[in-house]
Amino acid sequence: MIKPSTNLTSPFFSDDLAVNFISRRVVFFFLQDIQILELILAILVFIAIHSLRHKKRYGLPVWPVLGMLPSLVFGLRSNMYEWISDVLCQQNGTFRFRGPWFSSLNCVVTADPRNIEHLLKTRFTYFPKGQYFRDTLRDLLGDGIFNADDETWQRQRKTASIEFHSAKFRKLTTESLNELVHSRLLPVLENAANDFISIDLQDILLRLTFDNVCMIAFGVDPGCLSLGLSQIPFARAFEDATQATVLRFVTPTCIWKAMRYLDLGTERKLRASIKGVDEFAQQVIRTRKKELSLQTEYINNEQRSDLLTVFMGLKDENEQPFSDKFLRDICVNFILAGRDTSSVALTWFFWLLDQHEQVAEKILAEIYKIIMEREHFNPETPLVFTPEEIKKMEYLQAALSEALRLYPSVPVDHKEIIEDDVFPDGTVLKKGTKVIYAIYTMGRMEAIWGKDCREFKPERWLKDGRFISESAYKFTAFNGGPRLCLGKDFAYYQMKFVAASIIYRYHVEVVKDHPVLPKLALTMYMKNGLKVNLRKRDHYKLHQTSN
């Protein structure tokens, strides 16, 4: 039998044959499709493997979708600041972090002093705090100095700067600190030393500076530092509010905004704690207004010099008194700025002293030398350092600066660029890029501080026994340029006064095996506090010299 031709045009081409033929062609094409799919798949796998193997940027693997997030998470599990420092030191001071596409984590991270000077001073106006920062902190900080840019910032900065440099303000700060240290801090320490009780020094110092900064901002003393170390609702609310706000920085913006809208989880806690802060502020503002109106009517005695009173006496750009909300923002921002920066710096300082006994000895020798210069010195009477004596403590100032170099209270800070630009190291910055400057890392860069950068050496700050300050773009613990910390001079005074008052009276010994780690927050707290034992000093050397 002659097989029919398979030619489509054949007159002998039956329907069956046609169906058979078509199905075979479909299968053929399907098989061909599979091969194409396989091929596409193979190419994708190849690209993915290729990208996994080779897509490393700045020494970090860049994962599809997730970007560098897995490395960051790894960093967060150990010590985040050390992780950033390792990457930056390997990359000569700058790298570009790529977060997942759905996050707001993309940024440039730098610890290069040339870039820091560029963003803090040379191109200051190009690098505001930015919308992202403001949105994240607005509920707690409102339009206060910390969260403001442009005219809103300038106005507060100018007024507060005049105030911070006035004699009245200096009097307020020295008197309030004297009172706090001698009537509250030292009795608490004395108690612990007498009863051989270990204390959390960080907690005690945080209470001290909180009370102190509230006296400066609001002109009231909340009384956090007292013998019972009791919980103060305003302090608790402030603490909760800052902690819940920090969580916004690691949560995608759309998620925390949705949580805020639905009043859920940490956002619910944040709303409640901000309410606590606001109630306290409103109460103080109301009372002060009443007090001031009485003062102008009946009494004309010495004016208060706290920030609240000063700003109440001023007018806004429309010649109107500032609103209560704005007054609240001003005070809350100052409390945030001055609340824990000095106390955490002191905490790291005492931890470092515990490991460097010779430094503690040199500080003590300096204190002895200064008090021996007094005309009348009696070792039996309680010793209160005068501002002039504190100023003379240059070795102590060097040791505190060295502690801040290694453990800056603000370990990383943030800006957002509003125009395309290029950093002095060649890094290209597109408008809207977030820039993180890693202050903690700067203290660990050999290029800045030399081979011994990781060692605690107060001597690097001294020349012929005199304290020599460093460029703010090399030592950025207090920021630099137009936004240099307003409280810098006061902070040094406060830290020196507290440190000298403690060191003169006690050996501060860190409890053996106490775990010391930084906590991830806006300020570099110790995660587990600092458990210490206090041992009273025997001033036999001083008695010998004074006799």
Annotated binding-site residues for heme read: 485
- Beta-carbon contacts of 135 under 8 Å, excluding residues fewer than 6 positions away, are 253
Among 97, 249, 490, 497, binds ligand HEM (CB under 6 A): 490
The closest of 186, 188, 184, 187 to 176, measured between CA atoms, is 184
- Name which of 58 and 169 has its Cβ closer to ligand HEM: 169
To the nearest 10°, report the CA torsion of 246, 250, 251, 257.
Answer: 40
β-strand 434-438 against 107-110: which pairing, if any?
A: parallel
For residue 502 the two structure tokens come to 């403690």
Sheet strands side by side (includes 506-510): 199-200, 531-536, 506-510
CA distance linking residue 336 with residue 159, whole number of Å: 18
Closest contact distance (angstroms) between CB of 406 and ligand HEM is 12
* 170 makes contact with ligand HEM (CB under 6 A): no
Side-chain half-sphere exposure of 9, counting CA atoms within 13 A: 0
The span of 18-26, 183-191, 458-466, 478-486 binding ligand HEM (CB under 6 A) equals 478-486
Query: What does the DSSP 8-state code read for residue 67?
Result: B
Among 157, 356, 474, 539, binds ligand HEM (CB under 6 A): 157
**x-or-dash string of contact with ligand HEM, 201-220, rule CB under 6 A:** ------------x--x----
- Name which of 192 and 208 has its Cβ closer to ligand HEM: 208
Closest contact distance (angstroms) between CB of 92 and ligand HEM is 24
Closest contact distance (angstroms) between CB of 480 and ligand HEM is 9
Helix (H) or strand (E) holding 462: strand 462-463
The span of 175-183, 330-338, 351-359, 428-436 binding ligand HEM (CB under 6 A) equals 330-338
For residue 514 the two structure tokens come to 């106490």
- Name which of 398 and 485 has its Cβ closer to ligand HEM: 485
Site for ligand HEM in 405-464 (CB under 6 A): 409-410, 413
* 398 makes contact with ligand HEM (CB under 6 A): no
Q: Which residues are annotated as a binding site?
A: 485
- Beta-carbon contacts of 387 under 8 Å, excluding residues fewer than 6 positions away, are 170, 174, 493
CA distance linking residue 50 with residue 207, whole number of Å: 55
Site for ligand HEM in 90-149 (CB under 6 A): 145-146
Looking at the DSSP bridge assignments, the partners of residue 363 are none
- Name which of 71 and 173 has its Cβ closer to ligand HEM: 173
**x-or-dash string of contact with ligand HEM, 339-378, rule CB under 6 A:** --xx--x---------------------------------
CA distance linking residue 4 with residue 11, whole number of Å: 9
Size of the site for ligand HEM (CB under 6 A): 24
CA distance linking residue 91 with residue 238, whole number of Å: 38
* 477 makes contact with ligand HEM (CB under 6 A): yes
Among 241, 491, 503, 526, binds ligand HEM (CB under 6 A): 491
Closest contact distance (angstroms) between CB of 496 and ligand HEM is 11
* 85 makes contact with ligand HEM (CB under 6 A): no
Cα 365–Cα 507–Cα 534 angle in degrees, nearest 5: 155
For ligand HEM, which residue has the nearest CB?
Answer: 487
Sign of CA dihedral 450, 452, 456, 459: negative
Closest contact distance (angstroms) between CB of 215 and ligand HEM is 10
The residues binding ligand HEM (CB under 6 A) are 145-146, 157, 213, 216, 334, 337-338, 341-342, 345, 404, 409-410, 413, 477-479, 483, 485-487, 490-491
